[in-house]
Structure 1
Amino acid sequence: MKQGNNSTTELDTGMSEENLQIPAITLEEINFQTLAEDAPVTLWLTDIHGNIIFTNNQYKNFIGREKVERLGGKAWFNALHPDDRDYCLTVFKDAFETYKPFTMEYRLRRRDGEYRHFIDHGEPYIDGHGRFSGFVGSSTDITEQKLSEDELKKSHQELTQYNYEMNLINQLNSYLQVCRSVDETYPIVSYYAEQIFPDCTGALYLFNDKKTLVESMTTWGITDDIKSAPVIAPDDCWSLRQGKEHTTLDNDGRLRCKHVGDGISTYICEPIIAQGEMLGMLHIEFNAAKHKVGEEKTYYVESRKRLVKITADNLALSLVSLKLKEALQSQSVRDPLTYLFNRRFMEESLEREIHRCARAQHGLGLILSDIDHFKKFNDEYGHDAGDIVLVEYANLLKAHFRSSDVICRYGGEEFIIILPDIDKENLIKRAELLCHEISSLELLYQNKALPPITASFGVAYLHNTLIEKADIIKAADIALYEAKNNGRDQIVVPTTEFVDI
């Protein structure tokens, strides 16, 4: 805007001040000015050329009287927010070219330096002869309304984000509920954590069986940049020590967990606790937080704390349920003394492997072993010493065979080993090596050495043939009986019409 002579104000619409003539103020205009001077809103009046011929006290008090007197019409343009200037000039020019009412919103700097939101309404002014004589309009401060709208918009965005996050957590829970083991949860947790915590790097830590270490079971985000160690001692994490969430917001290392290295300033460690038992910890590193400062960073991290807590609590419930399920399942399929699989599990596994190997045309081996003279050993040294023999022999079997092999205590001193995907030659070699190794076992009872033991073995082999599980067990049992009759401490491989050896 530009200040004209006689204290009138000219709208800066691109027309030079030199080419504009200050019009005579009519009686109607004088009456308008008299009524509008002390109105509670900003009122203004222009002529047909865009010259502002009147603004009331409300405008002068807002901009600052000294500034209005010094800059004239330029005071308004100077007070406009730089991002709104082109828009306002475009609206004005269009209005004066079309003589149509207009509305526009903009930000105007108050005399104290604060920008306020305004909305202007302009109406074409028609004189008594029906001629266009300019625009009459008002400027209303809508800052509070805009703030309310912004708060409402922000609340709506937060609610939308919350619903999105809760939907992801519900999806995570639906998968966790159908997992059959704790190990099966790790890729699921990684997949959903990456969506729940975008722009973050994180890890799920769980205690080992002895509760001496906490190990990273899965990670997500930019895993190459994760600053937390893969294996940590419980005392190295403040959240595990205190049993509650621990957060750092800056690079001050005095409250940083020992397991977190340099280079990360903002992270959360949230313990995973269920039924009073500490299961592990959820670790989240906020990569995006490094671009935030002050209250913005604090608000960002505080909003994430709630989400980390909800996620950790849901993980805790699922993990403790799965651990209980695994424990109960293990008790139902494991021998309590040797912790080998029991007879029930052996029968289920053998039937499954017979069908699988038949479909794949792979070999399947079965070794049935019996510790020699075990009853006599028990009678001479006692059942406790006999239990030590059984446990040590079970440990030898675990070390001797592959992880894919199924090792079972068949009953008493008898053991069965199922060996999928093996050829006849390797099956016999493994049985012979085991027969040799058992006599080398060092057995101690009450700090005294027990005599060495031996075992007899019956070996059966199946290839590309579908038979009943009882038949292959019977074949191995006949071979074992023959080994015992032949003097024990040896292996025997039977020949039958359905077992290829």
Structure 2
Amino acid sequence: MVVNPDTASERMLAMQQRTEIFPARRITVLLVDDQVAMIEAVRRMLSTERDVDFHFCRNPIQAIKMANQIAPTVILQDLVMPEVDGLTLVRYFRANQATRDVPLIVLSVKEEAHIKAEAFTLGANDYMVKFPDRLEVIARIRYHSQGYINFLERNEAYERLTAAMKQEQTRAKEFAALSEMSDALQNCVSEPDTYVVIASAYQKLCAPCSGCISLFRQDTGRMNVVTTWGDMEVSLLDFQQQDCRAICQEVFHPSASEQPNYSCLHLSQASDGSSCCIPVKTQGETLGVISLRCQESLQLNKFVGMKEAAIFRVADHYALTLTNLRLRERLKIEAIHDPLTGVYNRRYMEESLEREILRAERHQTNVGLIMLDIDHFKRFNDTYGHDLGDTILRELAKSVRANLRAEDIVCRYGGEEFIVIIPDIELRDLLIRANHLCEEVRTSVQILHNSQTLSITISLGVASFPEHGNSAQEALRAADQALYQAKKGGRDRAVAASTPMI
């Protein structure tokens, strides 16, 4: 017969996987008999069977207790014993939870049809007359044991499948709750709008738990409880950050009712139960803390551990949402454009650069920087006046914006210096873009002054994150040094920063 090697390999793999899930079970025999001769006879019969463990009990009163301890795969019991009738013992075995389904073979000195019938009626699986043949004993033990082992494995497989299905159902519910929360947070236009969304998310994920949200206020330097849900009790409506162990330790912090001195000071100690705090953080900055409390009987640590990923995902998502909302609010309050040139101001440049660098770190991309200023700008101001200088700045800004993509960010850095932030661009392409800007300004920017046409040139320094620095400051410094080299080299040119030595 020719065996397909692929089929054989698949079969071996399946057997290996099955062995990992269901470790090989040994056959465990329990003999209940008061006769020493019978015990020794069965022991000798099984002595050569390497996968069979043999146990015996001479006292039928102790048989149930012993069976509970050794978990036999088959029970052999005598029909006639002192103190307890054999058929009564069969009834006891079948009434006992641990031995209810274990195969049971009744041993008797004679063949009696009505006794056999009663034994089978009470739940016996087999009947043998003493002293049986060795091969017959081994065959029956193996047959019944293997059937029982298969029964146990089927039950275990069913339990595993049921647990897996419940876990998948839980994950599906968690995913739905997280998706719903994400959509709701995107529609929030202010921080108070987010409180209901986060409370609802935790109520769905941790239904038995109550909770509260506390956020850090810059004006007071304290944490402020902004909302609660369920029967959550707090001892302080506002508190110092050091009153919360989760903030101090910068990690998830659980506490149990049996350790009240270890609980956070801002949570009420009056009610029974266990609590935990989850920091709301982004980029090392603590924005707030989410506190949950459950009844002690629910074993909060175990309960939260099962849903840890979802619980922390809500906190992380909330941290990003708060950061975005606060940035949006700050940009509304502050002027983000330079009033003279119409491009973004330095404050917006700094915020945008930090944001683009964080995005680049997440997506493993680059951020390009071009720092430029006008050659001999002071000479224009001194010769033609500051009004003409302002006109030059406006025309330069217009030209630079016209020659960049819509997603590129042009900012006035200060005086005649400008910064261009170009996301997701390689250094080679960035330098090409800078040279194009240099040429466009030289040939296209022309200013009329008293019937005289004036033209300007610019010098540009080019740098890229993370190639020229691991932070915004380092990248800006590299671009500034490259700009200095462009000026030193004769102006009206673009120079790329040199790669730092490692």
User: TM-score scaled by structure 2?
Assistant: 0.41
Structure 1 or 2, whichever has the larger Rg, is: 1
User: TM-score scaled by structure 1?
Assistant: 0.42
